[in-house]
Amino acid sequence: MSARFGRAELPERQAEVLRRAVRLEGVTLGFLVVTVTLVFLVLGNSQAMKAAWIEDLLSFIPPIAFLIAVRLARRRPTVRHPYGFHRSVAVGHLVAAVALTGMGAFLIVDSGIGLLTAEHPTIGTIDLFGATIWLGWLMIAVMVITGIPPVIVGRMKLGLARELHDKVLYADADMNKADWMTSVGTIVGVLGIGVGLWWMDAAAALFIAASIVHDGVSNLRAAVVDLMDARATTFDDAQPHPLVGRVDQYLASLPWVREAGSRVRDEGHVFHIEAFVVPHRRKVALSDIETAREGCVTLDWKIQDVVVVPVPELPDVVDAITPRGSNA
């Protein structure tokens, strides 16, 4: 029986979490359609409103990238793609980050020009149900209505991203959580126009653009690092993933192993692991290596591809782990 590598299926628990994430992203897309339409209808001449509208358009990218990546990651490995298609998650992360960074930079330039040239935007009135009202009140109402749900949905996505180890979903959740700042900034800009402080609108637009660039740059850095096969980290890139240490500790605990160390590559939802072991004896039984490999796989669902390599000494790019009580 041949060893299984590049598996595409998830355990039942994670498969259910993934289905919930897919449904939640579907809800997000539906809500974004409504939000973009409402904001467009009351856009007016406000730069802050324009920046908020563009941010809403950009918000389509992470959920779409996530849904595409999920479909690709389900494909089974082929001869051409022997590691499977889990890296599609990292590619989606990169696409979303580049779009955010580029559009955020454009908005900073556009809003900055408006501020330097002292453009004085105006907000007119509109006839609604037989009454004439200031359009700014509708802008504020739309910002309040559309600003709260993304925060709630973002917090829900955050828990799912943690369980799935999905960085695209985390990037989307992070953007959703920060949407309230966009809404507040836009409201401040609109009110500034209303009281005659024209510069507050451009300043609010700059604030929104800076928030977009911050999200884009932080996600761009994380996506590029992952694609360059950096050491695997947690889903939020806060620290090295603890699973790396668990694998090394397990291998070092085997009776025939004197030292152990691993190179762990983040493939998206799952890890590819090259584990190096220094045995006590010159000859190691094939059954010992296969048992060690299977033991690593059972440690966590994210460990799907493991190669255990006996070596005379560990490579200098891995942390050496020795059995407890050993003087080696």
The whole-angstrom separation of Cα 126 and Cα 103 is 31
Q: In what order do the strands lie in the sheet with 257-266?
A: 257-266, 271-279, 303-310
pLDDT below 70 — which residues of the chain?
A: 1-8, 324-328
Residue 328's pLDDT is: 46
Residue 327's pLDDT is: 47
The whole-angstrom separation of Cα 268 and Cα 232 is 10
Q: State whether 70 and 23 are in the same domain.
A: yes
Question: Quick check: is 190 in a domain?
Answer: yes
Strand partners for 303: 271
Q: State whether 223 and 236 are in the same domain.
A: no
Q: State whether 178 and 153 are in the same domain.
A: yes
Total domain count, the chain: 2
Query: CB within 8 A of 136, min separation 6: which ones?
Result: 44, 123, 190, 191, 193, 194
Question: Quick check: is 7 in a domain?
Answer: no
Q: State whether 40 and 117 are in the same domain.
A: yes
Residue 275's pLDDT is: 94
Q: Residue 284 is part of a domain; what is its CATH number?
A: 3.30.70.1350
Residue 127's pLDDT is: 77
DSSP string across 147-189: HHHHHHHHHHHHHHHHHHT-HHHHHHHHHHHTHHHHHHHHHHH
Distances from the Cα of 204 to the Cα of 24, 130, 153, 200, angstroms: 30, 32, 24, 6
Residue 8's pLDDT is: 58
Cβ neighbours around 68 below 10 Å, total? 16
Q: State whether 255 and 310 are in the same domain.
A: yes
Question: Quick check: is 236 in a domain?
Answer: yes
Residue 326's pLDDT is: 54
Picking from 170, 192, 227, the residue at the C-terminal end of a domain is 227
Cβ neighbours around 283 below 10 Å, total? 6
Residue written as tokens 């030292």? 259
Return the closest-CA partner of residue 62 out of 23, 97, 13: 97
The whole-angstrom separation of Cα 175 and Cα 276 is 39
Question: Quick check: is 279 in a domain?
Answer: yes
Cβ atoms of 62 and 96 within 8 Å: the answer is: yes
Q: State whether 223 and 261 are in the same domain.
A: no
Structure tokens that stand for 235 in this block: 């889903």
Picking from 201, 227, 253, the residue at the C-terminal end of a domain is 227
The whole-angstrom separation of Cα 265 and Cα 317 is 13
DSSP state of 85: S
Residue 7's pLDDT is: 58
Q: State whether 41 and 107 are in the same domain.
A: yes
Picking from 227, 262, 282, the residue at the C-terminal end of a domain is 227
Work out the burial of residue 152: count CB atoms within 10 Å of its CB; fewer than 13 is exposed, 13-18 middle, 19 or more buried: exposed
Question: Quick check: is 47 in a domain?
Answer: yes
Q: State whether 215 and 183 are in the same domain.
A: yes
Task: Quote the domain boundaries for residue 56.
Answer: 12-227
Cβ atoms of 85 and 10 within 8 Å: the answer is: no
Structure tokens that stand for 214 in this block: 């911050």
